[in-house]
Amino acid sequence: MTVSARIPPVLRPEHPSARSLTALVEEFGLSTRGSLAGVEITGISINSEEVEPGDLYVGVPGARSHGGAFAARAAERGAVAVLTDAAGAQLAADAGLPIVLVESPREALGAISAWVYRTGDDPPLLLGVTGTNGKTSTSYLLAGVLKQLGLVTGLSTTAERHIGDLVVVSRLTTPEASEMHALLARMREAGVRAVAIEVSAQALTRHRVDGIVFDVAGFTNLSHDHLDDYADMEEYFAAKTPLFQPDRARRGVVSLDSPWGQRMVEAAGVPVTTIASRDDVDASWRVVVTDEHAEHTGFRLLGPDGRELETRVPLIGRHMAANAALAIVMLVEAGIELDAIARALEADGGIVAYLPGRTERVSGDRGPAVYVDFGHSPDAFANTLAAVRRFTPGRVIMLFGADGDRDKTKRHDMGRVAAELSDILVITDHHPRFEDPAAIRRTLVEGARMAEHQPELYEVSPPEEAIRVAVSLAREGDSILWAGPGHQDYRDIRGVRTPYSARDLARQALREAGW
């Protein structure tokens, strides 16, 4: 079952149990204003428009306003108390609700959400994946293998949240701490016993996974991205390292495929094992690609003490084999026998997983092969274009745009890599947000002109027209890679989410062209 909406819902427990506000105050040693007598809370929210009756409303200071100013609205929707800082308490004074004071509401949110939802009681197996590229894929592959092992699974990624068979489109890569703990509580109700969670750098620096201790944390790689949020690569790397400390995880698995892997091993404060698909590094586990087809990639996983597993992943690209192997080693570190994993995969003919918008083929048997992909960094472009190239007898056509109001420093490299590795390049729009889309395209074209290899280059706006142009340029045997939108079903234009599906637009363009 899939739940889809323009703004996806917050998943909460269907049968929450009340907790005494007085008990919360005593547990955390907090000060209060107003009477707490008889007040019970059943949930927690930082968005006044999403408050449900019985909620503790958390007033968090923001870039433009303080959440305390919306306490009266939260009260109208059924909030029974407010948790905020001193500034927020002044703004919330007229809401008529008891106020609980903390120094930093955001830093307190994770621990208090865990207490409200009791997510520390009999938790499931928790697996967290971080890195620049491959986080989503590895998380889906974790969930896929866990299902093949017979476990009811949960999943939280950039693309979707899963609770058993329930699927909901995601809002953020990692939800706010209040939403994350509500999600885990809902998973507990559904009998989920293992959860794979994609953990972004922002999730760590913005306290979204506070109150959670992962059984195993995994690191994929680090490459140029998110330098709109972090001053440089060193600061970006530093944002990832807390996941490998004892208050966040019990064990770690680190890929050495990027130079930052060894740095992560050295920074880790928990036991770490290593994995690599490169021959020039010394890792505990090694991934060897054995078989590459347009529908799957076969690989052998070699580990300590002669342990070995051979299987395949239903995706193209050596990087996807590396992601799958990382997932398997994370499960081994979690205590699952490699032989048990091997038997389950062998019974199914390999890993069974569907990854929406990750080098997802949307074309039929005739005409050019068309793939949509979520990749939006130079390194992701390089990996995916190389994978597509291996199964393209003709030309590789690349179609992409770039996010507005996001890391501008990577745009030249995105254009350069796309030009270097494609035969025809079509530059278009993606999420312009509040930026001028023509200016974004101009920067991408500048980057493309820096490449040593110069493909045929087209600049086409909007993307609905760009995919038609790409298809019109394609012949039988060619491949089109549309990078950026992936699974997403909207474009962000000046703060408005406009319905939009790269999959549907690509299929429509193919039909119009007679394919």
Instruction: Place 450 in a pLDDT band, splitting at 50, 70 and 90.
Output: very high
> Are the CB atoms for 412 and 443 separated by under 8 Å?
yes
* Residue 504, C-beta contacts closer than 8 angstroms, at least 6 positions apart: none
Instruction: Place 173 in a pLDDT band, splitting at 50, 70 and 90.
Output: low
pLDDT of residue 3: 38
Instruction: Place 172 in a pLDDT band, splitting at 50, 70 and 90.
Output: low
As a whole number, mean pLDDT of residues 466-471 equals 98
pLDDT digits (tens, 9 = 90+) for 289-308: 999 998 899 999 999 999 99
DSSP letters for 285-351: EEEEEEEE-SS-EEEEEE-GGG-EEEEEESS-SHHHHHHHHHHHHHHHHTT--HHHHHHHHHHHTS-
As a whole number, mean pLDDT of residues 451-477 equals 97
> How big is the chain, counted in residues?
515
What is the four-CA torsion angle of 486, 492, 498, 500, rounded to 10 degrees?
A: -10
pLDDT of residue 358: 85
Distance set, CA 168 to CA 1, 143, 156 (Å): 9, 15, 10
As a whole number, mean pLDDT of residues 17-28 equals 98
Q: Determine which helix (DSSP H) or strand (DSSP E) holds 107, and give its type and residue range.
A: helix 105-117
- Please name every residue paired with 214 in a beta bridge, in sequence order, or none if there are none: 249
- Name the DSSP class of 249: E
pLDDT digits (tens, 9 = 90+) for 104-116: 999 999 999 999 9
How many angstroms separate the CA atoms of 291 and 332, rounded? 24
Inform me whether the pLDDT recorded for 7 exceeds 70. Answer: no
As a whole number, mean pLDDT of residues 335-361 equals 95
As a whole number, mean pLDDT of residues 187-192 equals 97
Share of the chain above pLDDT 70, in %: 98
Which amino acid would we find at residue 121?
D
Share of the chain above pLDDT 90, in %: 87
> Are the CB atoms for 481 and 390 separated by under 8 Å?
no
> Are the CB atoms for 341 and 298 separated by under 8 Å?
no
- Name the DSSP class of 39: -
pLDDT of residue 1: 43
Q: Is the peptide bond before 16 cis (omega within 30 degrees of 0)?
A: no
pLDDT digits (tens, 9 = 90+) for 382-395: 999 999 999 999 99
Inform me whether the pLDDT recorded for 402 exceeds 90. Answer: yes
pLDDT of residue 333: 98
User: Would strands 214-219 and 249-255 be described as parallel, antiparallel, or unpaired?
Assistant: parallel
> Are the CB atoms for 312 and 291 separated by under 8 Å?
yes
How far, in whole angstroms, is CA 17 from its chain's centroid?
30
List, in sequence order, every beta strand (DSSP E) within 70-124.
81-84, 99-101
As a whole number, mean pLDDT of residues 180-200 equals 97
Instruction: Place 338 in a pLDDT band, splitting at 50, 70 and 90.
Output: very high
pLDDT of residue 228: 78
How many angstroms separate the CA atoms of 329 and 301, rounded? 9
Phi, psi of 442 (to 5 degrees): -60, -40
How many angstroms separate the CA atoms of 245 and 193, rounded? 23
pLDDT of residue 128: 98
Strand arrangement of the beta sheet that strand 43-45 belongs to: 31-33, 99-101, 81-84, 55-59, 43-45
As a whole number, mean pLDDT of residues 481-485 equals 93
User: Would strands 160-163 and 166-169 be described as parallel, antiparallel, or unpaired?
Assistant: antiparallel
pLDDT digits (tens, 9 = 90+) for 138-156: 999 999 999 999 999 999 9
How many angstroms separate the CA atoms of 449 and 472, rounded? 23
Q: Determine which helix (DSSP H) or strand (DSSP E) holds 251, and give its type and residue range.
A: strand 249-255
How far, in whole angstroms, is CA 112 from its chain's centroid?
24
Q: Determine which helix (DSSP H) or strand (DSSP E) holds 129, and give its type and residue range.
A: strand 125-130
The whole-model pTM stands at 0.90
> Are the CB atoms for 458 and 469 separated by under 8 Å?
yes
Instruction: Please tell me the chain's helix, strand, coil percentages from 3-state DSSP, rounded to the nearest 5.
Output: 35, 25, 40
pLDDT of residue 2: 40
pLDDT digits (tens, 9 = 90+) for 299-335: 999 999 999 999 999 999 999 999 999 999 999 999 9
Instruction: Place 167 in a pLDDT band, splitting at 50, 70 and 90.
Output: very high
Side-chain half-sphere CA neighbours of 178 within 13 A: 23
pLDDT digits (tens, 9 = 90+) for 197-248: 999 999 999 999 999 999 999 999 998 776 777 889 999 999 999 999 999 9
How many angstroms separate the CA atoms of 46 and 106, rounded? 9
pLDDT of residue 170: 82
pLDDT digits (tens, 9 = 90+) for 46-104: 999 999 999 999 999 998 999 999 999 999 999 999 999 999 999 999 999 999 999 99
How many angstroms separate the CA atoms of 183 and 189, rounded? 10
How many angstroms separate the CA atoms of 192 and 190, rounded? 6
Structural domains for the chain: 18-117 (3.40.1390.10), 125-348 (3.40.1190.10), 360-512 (3.90.190.20)
How many angstroms separate the CA atoms of 503 and 482, rounded? 9
CA angle 466, 408, 417 (to 5 degrees): 60
